[in-house]
Structure 1
Amino acid sequence: MPAAVHQLFFSGQFSIMHSCKLLTANIVLFGIRIGAQQAFYCTMIRNYIKIALRNLRNNKVYSLINIVGLTIGLTCAMLILLYVKDEVSFDRFHKKGASIYRVVFRSESNGEVRGGSSTGLLEGPRFSQNVAGIKSYVRVQDGRVNLKNGPDVVSQDLLFVDPSFFSVFSFDVIDGDPKSCLKEPHSVVLTKDEAKKRFGTTNAVGKMLMLEEQGKFVPYQVTAITENCPENSTIQYRMLLPMREKPGDLLNTENWFSAFLNTFVVLDDKADPRAVIAQMQRFYEKDAGETFRMLSARYGNKNRNLSTYSLQPMLDIHMSTTLSAQNGLQHASNPIYAYILSGIALFVLLIANINFVNLTVARSVRRAKEIGIRKAVGSDRKQLIIQFLGESFILCTIAFSLAVLLAFVVLPVFNELANKKLSLSYLLDAKLVASYIVLYLLAGLLAGFYPAMVLSGYKPVETLYSRFTLKGKGILQKSLVVLQFTLASFLIIATFTVYFQFEYLTKADLGFDDSNLVVVNKDNMTHEEAAAFKNELLTSHDIQSVAPKNGGYWGTGAKLPNDSSIMFAWETIDESYLQTLKLPIVKGRNFSADFPGDSAQSILINETFAKEAGWKDPIGKSVFFNYRDRTYQVIGVVKDYHFRALNEKIRPQVFTMANYNPYGTFYIKIRPNTAASSLSFIERKFRQFFPLTPYSYVFMDELNRNRYESEARWKKIIFFGAILTIFISCIGLFGLSVLAAEKRTKEIGIRKVLGASVQNIATVLSIEFVKLVMIALLIAMPLAWFAGKKWLDNYPYRITFGWTIFGYAALLVTLIAIFTVSFQAVKAALANPVKSLRSE
């Protein structure tokens, strides 16, 4: 090898080896540097955690207040997220849910427009046969049946449905054929819980149930067993029977105008609902027009137009405010409930975060030197922000963990308040878990961001040389306290409003005497059966009077002499009904046995009927009933009374003694303080007269109170919301009072040295906060007045929304605020002035 080449080769080899050594060294140094940085950051994070935990431990009271506030706020938010998730999930388990619609209508009569969801037998089959885009239909009607369970007879709620029920709705059939299980007229479908209850097993297909049918018990064969209905379903059942139709019902066009069930249709995936609705209306006008004109001429409905049909998406039914889940559908809700609960949760969580900010800034006076030292030894603002945000997230992590546990504990109470059956398994839902993580991050950022920015901005020279002041830092804290007490005052006013309205609804004079009045039901009683049972009951000295009436609430229309029509509630009673309820006659007379024709040709009307008919002297006026085409004469006018709940206006009402209408209910007036003996006697006689009918009773005053379960529930919910907000607001006010006392430590010492009393100093420190509360009340009152008035407008009979409610609320909020502030103010006033003067 030539010398030049040899030299070049070895020099190149040396260069490569040298480069490799340098590269290896750089890699090692880089690794060491990365490792050192990682170690540094791990040490820094570990130190941050240590310092955060030390601060939490050294400030136990403040830490406890923050943790409790955030825990309560996060728990409320979690529970409300559960509630909202359940609300929006209703009926979404149906595979065809997006294509299922309920047939609804809108009608106009005498200038009054109303909408409804009750349809008759014809809408389903005729629309599906004659309207393009409708693939199938199913009708759903609620009912009740008596069944034999061994020697006993019990009543059972059920639904009558078409055979297509399981092809439309996605209820799981675990045994039996879903396509054919409802085709035979004497078939019955049970849920698995109902099957276990009746037969002790879910293997019940082929077994027999004895159901009452026209006064006789007839065998029905179990043809299928289904899973229990999901809680988030508007269709709830334990037993299904095939839809009952008489021969010729589907051919009678008058059945267009008989509404008593729900009709659901399934649209083709490519169908335009608006085009389908237009076709429905055209077919209806063509098919029912002639019959409508004939009925209008017969019953005097000259000012009424044909109804307008439409389609309501099934997924909208649960929270609809105009066409709600009723007439056999259940769990009707209102989006306002979700808004109210979400608002309360937001209030509580916001107030808890405000408290964190207030208390952290209040404690910053004590941490000022710590911050100065950190900055002096080289910490930059970014590191301090990370430090304080880290403390915030540690505290929020503790609060979040406790909130999850608390949510598990209080969920049963929340279910009772919200009338829900929310399951703990809901907490494992992926979307809900993601929502909770977002909630956790937001809570940590909201609670820690502002204090981190404020505390990290302190100047080291001022803090280390005791020149540090908090001037200009109190405006935001005061504004936040005003916000807190605005929210708290709003909820307290709302609590008083709901409370007084509930008291009014449950204690208002209904116009009749409901005390000691026992209600017993027995369907389809003849007048002879009712008379015999009544006479037997009156043999007891403890029973003052007995009055039979028709079961439930009936309604119909009538034609007046001027060819106008009127709709009214229709009661079939006997001559003792008005006496039993202590209803006065304002004109004319009551029914009487001295007038045998009363049962065939006489009626009583209420005052509202007379007003709507335009009669100043109704006695002797004739009324042509649509039902059975009969004409009656008015013999008396009954004073108006609230026969329905007070959230409905008194409607026109008519009383008859028509023999062709069966009785279904007994009103039994018992003597005071004889409930035990009277109820025992009534039950014994009932079982003697009606051995095949289940016996149950309820007191009329209890029945009236139960009409306002929704108001009672919301009274509790808003009350608890007000308690939580005022509690957490007081914590915030306490934090601000601590801040003020620490800012004015030297001033307090000077005042004491100059002779100021404890009372004077406490007043000086408290008056500022009382002003903040007054500002909050001034802001909250108009907001609460507007919201309260809108809510009360839903009730035709309501309290007067006057200054009494605002006065009570203002007094309560002010007293709570003064009590909260005075504690810290008195403590500061009692401090040794020598220590106060040395503190700065």
Structure 2
Amino acid sequence: MLRNYLKIAWRNLIRNKAHTFINIAGLSVGLACSLLILLWVQNELEMDAYHKNSSRLFSVYERQYYDNKIVGQYNTPGLLPDELKKQIPEIEASTGISYGGESTFRVGDKILKMGGVNGGADVFKMFTIPLLQGNAQNALNTPVSLAISNKMAKAFFGSAQAAIGKTIRYENRKDFKVTGVYQDLPKTSSQQYDFIMNWDAFLADNDWAKIWGNNGPSTVIMLRPDANPALIEKKLTHFLDNLNKNQKKGTFTEELGMQPFKDGYLYNNFENGEFKGGRIEYVRLFTIVAIFILLIACINFMNLTTARSVKRAREIGVRKVVGAVRSVLIKQFISESMLVTTLAVVVSLLLLVLLLPVFNNITQKEIALPFHLPAFWLKLAAITLITGFISGSYPALFLSSFNPVKVLKGTLKLDTGTTMFRKGLVVFQFFLSVVMITATIVISKQMDYVQSKNLGFDRENLIYIPMNGELIHKYQAFKDEALQMAGIKSISRITATPTGLDNGTSDVDWVGKDHNVQIQFTQVSVGYDFVKTMKLKMAAGRDFSKAYGTDSVGYLINETALKRLKYADPIGKPLTFWGKKGQIIGVLKDFHFASLHEQIQPLIIRYGEQEGYGNILVKTRPGKTREALASLATLAKQINPAFPFSYTFSDDEYQKLYQNEQIVTKLSNAFAFLAIFISCLGLLGLAMFTAEQRIKEIGIRKVLGASAASLFTLLSSEFLLLVIISLFIALPVSWYAMSAWLRDFAYQTPMHWWIFAMAGGIIIVIAMVTVSFQAIKAALVNPIKSLRSE
């Protein structure tokens, strides 16, 4: 029986080639898109969930209450991990983690930069990081212990076995002993690092981390198997009360909380000290998009099958007369749907193989098709069955319900309900397409806004050179020599990057301060010529200058900080920072030193010409950047031979702030196009069928004098009306959805009326172009051919 079903289904597919092509093309593209998205979603959900102790691992976070607001952050005191383990017995292991970026290592003549972290002795006990060489119990138990990845071991020593016990030079100032070599971290680890340095080494290099009032590293704990997380969190809440002496009831208090470690990747946005969204929002968004695209493809199948029902009416009537029961007919039509879906799945897998490299490039992932996993084939089979059933269920129920008497008499007509249902499906298809087009326009416009917004400084031709080795001690010599080179306009220094200032303090005092209000100031130190190099605007006063010996205790503030200080005439007014008394020498016009997701915060800039860390800022002349870089590389090699010359462009650093949004922009553009493509395939199929059904009517109208233009209007007006109805429904929904998305940005592009007009215009034009080809073709048919058999 099944063989018979498949044989009839295959004959029907071959007989109606255009109808079959449209169905398979629509379904295959929809399936390919949906599978791509679902592979990405699965990868996102798997991030950081591979640790064997995952259910017992928790990140500790901090809630700060000050200035009438609650701020949440992962930054915690450097002494917290050991104190938690000491004071709370239910905590089996703990570690601080400090992500230090890239560091320079040397073995013999080989010098390489590697990215790594500092971690406590419990790291290998807590996390699933298999050791290839060394012992997990003592791999990080001394200040000179260093665990490295297999990749780093091969790069320096040739193999993991050869690396163990060897000495490696760090930043040309300290020797470490390789006490462990671990397997390269899986791609499902949100943080990729090639070395883990002992935690005591971090504390030794960073005295500020030994003070309870200072935050910086993150803290991760592992509970005992029998521990109750809810009870532990209660113990954490006021854990800092007796440790942080900066706490003042009513002005500044801190509380601790904990979050499952694996959730940190997806749920990392804070609002009022609580977790609210993060990457999980994009996971949900694209899951919905995957469902929508597949739904649009299924709607195409249902629409085209029910539209062509009249063509198969006689077949159904005859089969019913000779004894076919309805259940048999339903099985037949479901079999046809399953066959089409199976063919579409095969085509979609071919599309997946072709599209996956491009998709990985856009999403910055390394997703592979898991053909070797039985679970993948089971999921694919489930998707095939569900898609085939959804696509074929309504047509099967509808076609099998035909009255054989009416069919064979030739009096069968589609009832109003059936026609309205089909039109409703078209409206729903284009509703989804309009929402996706509008979202694409708004997201692209916000990204354009982000790219073009005046940040208050000039990021063009601005280069950051990390200060390390001899550059720290010979910065002035480097600056003097570099300023003589062609293409160099100005040079300064800063302890962070201009778009990454996140170090805050409330230890600031001034005349008239309300001590009942605790204000958090962002702080950074800079060198001479900072304002000139950054092309910042002064609202009052001046930049740091060698001509003023008192500038070592001078401070620059931004306009937002001035509003909080409430000085009417700020220049020369006293300001005490970290107990160091000084005065304000300049007020900078507000500039953005973080992402546009955040409001500009109060900023204090202190003198730091002699600081021992940070970045050199180099402003090059337009068109001379390449020449300047070559000269700087030569100079850096002379002054700092133990370190490879490295640099980043300011614009590249700025782009990193919006990596997620840039990925979303590219994906939304692609998926909106594909949703429209699939919808238009269905519209084309319906237009073909409508023209075919009305061929005799068109012939009679032409004989009676109807023009080609009037016939075109007749055939296309019905579809245009459906598209317009979809617009009226979709545009308010789009406005609401995109308003919610934009609320995540403190600075956002306005949603002008023309955005929605453009989305409507685009969909109308695309729909009419799709329909017009078939409508014009039908309108130009010779009426003699269509009426010959009458």
Whole-angstrom distance in 2 between the partners of 1:239 and 1:501: 38
- The one-letter amino acid paired with 2:594 is R
Aligned to 1:76: 33
Deviates more, 1:140-149 or 1:688-697: 140-149
How far apart are the structure 2 equivalents of 1:403 and 1:339? 23
Q: Specify the alignment match of 1:258 in structure 2.
A: 214
Distance 2:505 2:430 in 1: 53
The structure-2 alpha-carbon separation of the partners of 1:455 and 1:754, relative to structure 1 and needing over 3 Å to count, comes to same
1:90-116 deviation line (CA, Å, top 9, x unaligned): 333222211121222211012111112
Deviation at 1:217, TM superposition (A): 4.5
Q: Which secondary structure does the structure 2 equivalent of 1:570 belong to?
A: strand
2:412 counterpart of 1:468:
yes
Partner of 1:715: 665
Q: 1:537 offset after TM fit, Å?
A: 0.9
Q: Matched residue of 2:211: which SS?
A: helix
Aligned to 1:593: 546
Aligned to 1:16: none
Task: Indicate whether 1:156 and 2:105 are aligned.
Answer: no
Change (3 A) 1:237 1:251: closer
Q: What is the aligned partner in structure 1 of residue 274 from structure 2?
A: none
For 2:664 and 2:467, locate their aligned partners in 1 and report how far apart those are by CA, in whole Å.
34
SS at 1:365's partner residue? helix
Counterpart among 592, 606, 629 of residue 642 in structure 1? 592
Task: Report what 1:210 is aligned to.
Answer: 168
| Mapping for residues 379-390 of structure 1, pairs under 5 Å | 379-390=324-335
Any stretches of 5+ residues in structure 2 without a counterpart? Answer: 272-276
CA displacement 1:550-588 (0-9 Å, x = unmatched):
244343331222344533233322332212222221112
Match of 2:568 among 616, 624, 629: 616
1:231 counterpart residue number = 187
Query: Which letter maps to 2:567?
Result: W
Contact 1:543–1:678 (CA under 8 A) maintained in structure 2: yes
Which residue of 485, 505, 511 maps to 1:556? Answer: 505
Tell me the CA shift for residue 152 of structure 1.
4.6
Q: Distance in 2 between matches of 1:618 and 1:380?
A: 91
Quick one: structure 1 residues 745 and 47, their matched pair in 2 at CA, closer, same or farther if it must change by over 3 Å?
same
> Which amino acid is 2:219 matched to?
T
CA distance in 1, matches of 2:661, 2:202: 42
* CA contact 2:558–2:590 (8 Å) conserved in 1: yes
Give 1:736 deviation, angstroms. Answer: 2.4
- Which of 348, 359, 370 pairs up with 1:403? 348
Gaps of 5+ in 1: 1-40, 325-331
CA contact (8 A) 1:134 1:265 kept: yes
Q: Does 1:683 align with 2:633?
A: yes
Between the aligned partners of 1:733 and 1:839, the Cα distance in structure 2 is 29
- Secondary structure of the 2:48 match is coil
Give 1:673's aligned residue: 623
Distance in 1 (CA, whole Å) between partners of 2:425 and 2:647 is: 55
Distance 1:733 1:88, change over 3 A: same
3-state SS of the aligned residue for 2:192?
Answer: coil
Query: After superposition, where does 1:461-540 map in structure 2 within 5 Å?
Result: 461-472=405-416, 473-523=418-468, 529-540=474-485
Does the aligned pair in 2 maintain the 1:477–1:736 contact within 8 Å? no
For the residue of structure 2 that corresponds to 1:319, the secondary structure is coil
- CA distance, structure 2, for counterparts of residue 311 and residue 429 of structure 1: 35
Cα pair distance change 1:839/1:276, threshold 3 Å: farther
Cα 1:622/1:703, change in 2 over 3 Å: same
- Distance in 2 (alpha carbons) for counterparts of 1:373 and 1:543: 88
Give the alignment of 1:315-334 within 5 angstroms.
315-322=262-269, 334=279
Give the RMSD, CA atoms, in angstroms: 2.6
Change (3 A) 1:480 1:746: same
Paired AA for residue 380 in structure 1: V
Distance 1:544 1:86 in 2: 46
Q: Which residue of structure 2 aligns with residue 279 of structure 1?
A: 235
Residue 94 of structure 1 contacts residue 169 of structure 1 at CA under 8 Å; is this kept in 2? yes
Q: Shift in Å at residue 302 of structure 1? A: 7.0
Aligned to 2:558: 606
Structure 1 stretch 124-133 or stretch 657-666: which is displaced more? 657-666
Retained in 2: the 8 A contact 1:521–1:551?
A: no
SS in 1 for 2:395: helix
After TM superposition, give the deviation of residue 519 of structure 1 in Å: 2.3
Instruction: Name the amino acid aligned to 2:439.
Output: A
* Shift in CA distance, 377/88, structure 1 to aligned 2, threshold 3 Å: same
Distance (whole Å) between structure 2 residues aligned to residue 408 and residue 250 of structure 1: 49
Residue 21 of structure 1 aligns with which residue? none
- 1:147 matched to which residue of 2? 105
Match of 1:767 in 2: 717
Please tell me whether residue 110 in structure 1 is matched to residue 30 in structure 2.
no
**CA separation of 1:277/1:195 partners in 2, compared to 1, >3 Å: closer, same or farther?**
same
- Which residue does 1:420 correspond to in 2? 365
Partners of 2:193 and 2:649 in 1: CA distance: 27
Q: 1:785 to 1:99 in 2, by over 3 A?
A: same
Post-superposition offset of 1:625: 1.0
- How much has 1:361 moved relative to structure 2? 2.0
Look up the SS of the partner of 1:158 in the other structure: strand
Say if 1:530 and 1:548, in contact at 8 Å, map to a contact too.
Answer: no
Note the alpha carbon deviations across 1:259-280, whole angstroms, 9 max, x for none: 2212222222222222223333
Change in 2 beyond 3 A, CA 1:139/1:430: farther
The residue number in structure 2 matching 1:33 is: none
The more displaced of 578-587 and 701-710 is 701-710
Change (3 A) 1:253 1:499: closer
Alignment of 1:13-32 (within 5 A): none
Q: Distance in 2 between matches of 1:282 and 1:656?
A: 33
State how far apart, in whole Å, the 2-side matches of 1:248 and 1:149 are.
Answer: 23
- Measured in 2, the distance between the counterparts of 1:526 and 1:612 equals 37
2:385 aligned residue: 441
Tell me the alpha carbon deviations over residues 662-701 of structure 1, each in whole angstroms, 9 at most, x when there is no partner: 3532222222222332211111111111212221123323
For this pair of structures, how many residues does the alignment match? 775
Q: Could you tell me whether the CA contact under 8 Å between 2:238 and 2:256 is conserved in 1?
A: no
CA deviation map 1:211-251 (0-9, x unaligned): 236x5252x22222221112222453211111125999999
Report the Cα distance in structure 1 between the residues aligned to 2:363 and 2:727, rounded to whole angstroms: 29
Could you tell me the percent identity over the aligned residues?
34
Q: CA deviation at 1:659?
A: 5.0
Structure 1 residue 432 displacement after superposition: 4.1
CA distance in structure 2 between the partners assigned to 1:476 and 1:839 by the alignment: 33
Query: What are the equivalent positions in structure 2 for 1:447-458 lying under 5 Å apart?
Result: 447-458=391-402
Amino acid aligned to 1:617 = D
How far off its partner does 1:381 sit? 2.2
31, 42, 59: which one pairs with 1:85? 42
Q: 1:269 matched to which residue of 2?
A: 225
Tell me the secondary structure at the aligned position of residue 148 of structure 1: strand
Contact 2:71 2:270 in 1 (8 A): no
Letter of the 1:194 counterpart? M
Which of residues 567, 570, 576 in structure 1 aligns to 2:520? 567
Partners of 2:122 and 2:462 lie apart in 1 by 45
Residue number among 235, 246, 254 corresponding to 1:307 in the alignment:
254
1:22 corresponds in structure 2 to none
State the one-letter code of the partner of 1:666.
I
Aligned ranges for residues 188-199 of structure 1 at < 5 Å? 188-199=146-157
**Letter of the 1:583 counterpart:** L
Q: Distance in 1 between matches of 2:329 and 2:738?
A: 47
Contact 1:97 1:315 in 2 (8 A): yes
Alpha-carbon spacing, 1:775–1:250, altered in 2? closer, same or farther (3 Å) = closer
- The residue identity in structure 1 corresponding to 2:90 is G
Indicate if the aligned counterparts of 1:560 and 1:566 stay in contact, CA closer than 8 A. Answer: no
Partners of 1:278 and 1:455 lie apart in 2 by 63
TM-score (norm 1): 0.87
| CA shift in 2, pair 1:520/1:80, >3 Å | same
8 Å CA contact 1:187–1:242 kept in 2: the answer is yes
The Cα shift of 1:530 comes to: 2.0
**Alpha-carbon spacing, 1:834–1:470, altered in 2? closer, same or farther (3 Å):** farther
